[in-house]
């Protein structure tokens, strides 16, 4: 299955610990891919340790770096690279990316790189604070950012990120109504089948993360089933 056809992605944070046996249950849940992603305290070491735990399972691995200082590419199927559309700090749109190209000497496997246009909407989240994003956006403003990302910049993915809290379905619907070629991702606060089904009505792909750590892999299976 190609990444454009995924409907459910599980986000795993290298800075958090899973209980024994949880990774096997996650891999067996039916989720389409596992994303290695975090905002704080992500290092090459804890990324590699998490990757090592996941390598035994036949499931696509995605690296979503928070910055150029910690990026895995060996043994990774795709690298999803965010640019934050509603940041007030240009480094989160293009500066970190320039630094990464310089760091790698231009030797980047571009065939596995997938750019993401992030729209961050939780001001209390780590990603909202770190990227200094303007999060109090109305539905039409989110739709406008989505249109710019899709039609002007041609991002393959537009990612509505509520990070830790369940977002407003009307906002996600507004983004869905205007999107054309980009794939619409939604992440934030999905911790039940009901919430998964609700956001799957509008987003092409839902991302589940915190629920795995808070409630265990059983809730993940419920969200997978609801997203189909």
pLDDT of 29 higher than 70: yes
Going by pLDDT thresholds of 50, 70 and 90, the confidence category of residue 1 is low
User: What is the separation, in whole angstroms, between the first and last Cα of the chain?
Assistant: 14
Quick check: 20 pLDDT over 70?
Answer: no
DSSP letter assigned to residue 77: S
Taking only the tens place, the pLDDT of each residue in 145-178 is 999 999 999 999 999 999 989 999 999 999 999 9
pTM exceeds cut of 0.85: yes
Which residue segments constitute the domains of the chain, with CATH numbers given?
Answer: 3-227 (3.20.20.390)
Look-up: residue for tokens 């691995």?
A: 61
Q: Distance between CA 24 and CA 29 in Å, rounded?
A: 9
pLDDT value of residue 214: 85
- The DSSP string of 186-216 is EES---SHHHHHHHHTT-SEEEE-HHHHHH-
């Amino acid at each position: 299955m190609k990444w454009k056809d995924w409907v459910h992605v599980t986000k795993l944070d290298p800075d958090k610990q899973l209980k024994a046996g949880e990774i096997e249950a996650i891999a067996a849940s039916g989720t389409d891919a596992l994303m290695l992603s975090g905002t704080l305290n992500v290092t090459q070491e804890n990324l590699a340790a998490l990757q090592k735990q996941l390598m035994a399972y036949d499931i696509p691995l995605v690296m979503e770096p928070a910055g150029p200082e910690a990026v895995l590419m060996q043994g990774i199927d795709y690298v999803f690279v965010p640019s934050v559309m509603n940041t007030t700090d240009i480094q989160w749109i293009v500066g970190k990316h320039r630094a990464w190209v310089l760091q790698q000497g231009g030797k980047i496997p571009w065939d596995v790189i997938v750019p993401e246009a992030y729209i961050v909407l939780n001001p209390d989240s780590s990603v909202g604070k770190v990227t200094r994003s303007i999060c109090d956006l109305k539905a039409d403003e989110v739709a406008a950012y989505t249109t710019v990302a899709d039609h002007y910049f041609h991002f393959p993915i537009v990612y509505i990120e509520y990070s830790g809290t369940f977002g407003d379905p009307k906002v996600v619907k507004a983004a869905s109504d205007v999107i054309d070629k980009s794939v619409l991702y939604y992440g934030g606060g999905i911790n039940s089948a009901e919430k998964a089904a609700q956001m799957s009505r509008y987003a092409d792909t839902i991302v589940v993360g915190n629920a795995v750590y808070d409630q265990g892999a059983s809730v993940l299976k419920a969200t997978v089933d609801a997203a189909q």
